[in-house]
Amino acid sequence: MAGKRERKSGRMGHLLEAVCFLLVFLFLFQGVSRVLRGRPDVGSNAFFYEEPRQSLDVLFLGSSHMLNAVSPMQLWEEQGVPSGNLGVNGQVLPVTYYTLQEALRYQKPRVVVLDIYKVVQDSLIDSKGSLHAALDGMPLWSLPKYRSAFDLLPKGERAEFLLDIIVYHDRWKEVTGEDFLPADTREKGAQILFTVEQPYQGWEVLPEGKTAPPAQVEMDYLEKIIALCQKEDISLLLVAVPYTTPEKDDLNRQAVVNGMAAYAAEKGLPYLNLMHKTGEMGFDFSSDMADMYHVNWKGMEKVTALLGEYLVQNYDLTDRREDPAYADWNEDLLAYRAYLEERLQALPDNKETTP
């Protein structure tokens, strides 16, 4: 009897050793992969894994439209709402769905704000580069990472997204000391743009009544996002931040985005199409766009201010600026403001002041 117990205890000990070895290996492998990828930029999701669990009340998701349009630090300064921007360049709604799955492993936000611009694009992924931007920062042991790769990619193209060292292993020759530095997380996932570009002459906002149908694959995954938010008892706010369009617009972008109002009404979801709230925001397409599709720092300030006011007026969100548990946010705000002022002072005309 004693011998059986000893053998069982020995097997359990070996199993525990194997598990510990595997965990150490995964953490080391994750660290090596991170260095080979290079230091994450300000628009990465690296900030997200530094935030305490269950500490963010609002999450912003979507493509680069959202990435460049909403500043969590400004929202904190003006409303005291802790939030994170998980927008990614080229993030179509199938990828957003899995990004939200990953986010909910760590946070239980009261509100998810989703930019729906990508309903114009009929594809499971935008590009391999954009998918890497969304998935590479997720831990190796992330189930949403695996689900997305198996759902969105053909069999022969999955490996590089599950083990991204396959893509970056040759970069070891280029690694510098900067690649070992912590990620720049002062924008909480957002990415401010500091350029100005005007739309082509004669461009105008399309009337709300002109609509067109969205891409079906995007709507299929929007349905999944809605279902997931309902399951987790999270309020979902649909938005479309300002953008302009090319002179020849084969995707009929404005009409498709306009058409989402009827869909949102049918689903009983709030929808803010900010293309039609520019007067309310004081938004000027001739000065507040960084390029054709993305707002700049001035546009970001106006979009964030309007969304912040809407959020605190329509959802049960607590002002946490005096909460000791969020003292770090006030320190982060000082760093963010210093960074913003530095960038603005470096603009060519050097005439802009901190917003």
Does residue 26 form part of some domain? no
Cα–Cα distance measured from residue 197 to residue 186, given in angstroms and rounded to the nearest whole number: 26
Q: What's the pLDDT at 136?
A: 87
Whole-structure pTM value: 0.86
How many domains is the chain partitioned into structurally? 1
pLDDT digits (tens, 9 = 90+) for 87-129: 999 999 999 999 999 999 999 999 999 999 999 999 999 999 8
Does residue 72 form part of some domain? yes
Does residue 79 form part of some domain? yes
Q: What's the pLDDT at 167?
A: 59
DSSP E strand boundaries for 38-81: 58-61
Does residue 147 form part of some domain? no
Q: What's the pLDDT at 348?
A: 85
**One-letter amino acid of 197:** E
| Local mean pLDDT, 10-residue blocks, the chain (355 residues) | 56 60 48 50 72 97 97 98 96 98 98 98 94 89 95 93 64 57 80 95 96 98 98 98 96 98 98 98 97 98 98 98 96 95 87 42
Does residue 116 form part of some domain? yes
Residue-level length of the chain: 355
Residue 322 structural domain: 40-127+183-345
- The set of residues, in sequence order, having a beta carbon less than 8 Å from that of 119 and lying 6+ positions away, is 93, 214, 215, 218, 219, 222, 256, 257, 260
User: Residue 301's closest CA among 241, 246, 349?
Assistant: 241
Strand partners, 58: 83, 111
Does residue 262 form part of some domain? yes
User: Residue 288's closest CA among 355, 209, 230?
Assistant: 355
Does residue 193 form part of some domain? yes
- The set of residues, in sequence order, having a beta carbon less than 8 Å from that of 82 and lying 6+ positions away, is 55, 56, 57, 58, 72, 76, 320, 326, 329
Distance of CA 268 to the CA centre of its chain: 24
Cα–Cα distance measured from residue 295 to residue 280, given in angstroms and rounded to the nearest whole number: 16
Spatial contact of 132 and 153, defined as CB atoms under 8 Å apart: no
Q: What's the pLDDT at 162?
A: 84
Spatial contact of 355 and 297, defined as CB atoms under 8 Å apart: yes
pLDDT digits (tens, 9 = 90+) for 299-343: 999 999 999 999 999 999 999 999 999 999 999 999 999 999 999
Does residue 165 form part of some domain? no
Strand partners, 289: 295
Paired tokens of 119: 């309903």
**One-letter amino acid of 50:** E
Q: What's the pLDDT at 103?
A: 97
CATH number for the domain harbouring residue 295: 3.40.50.1110
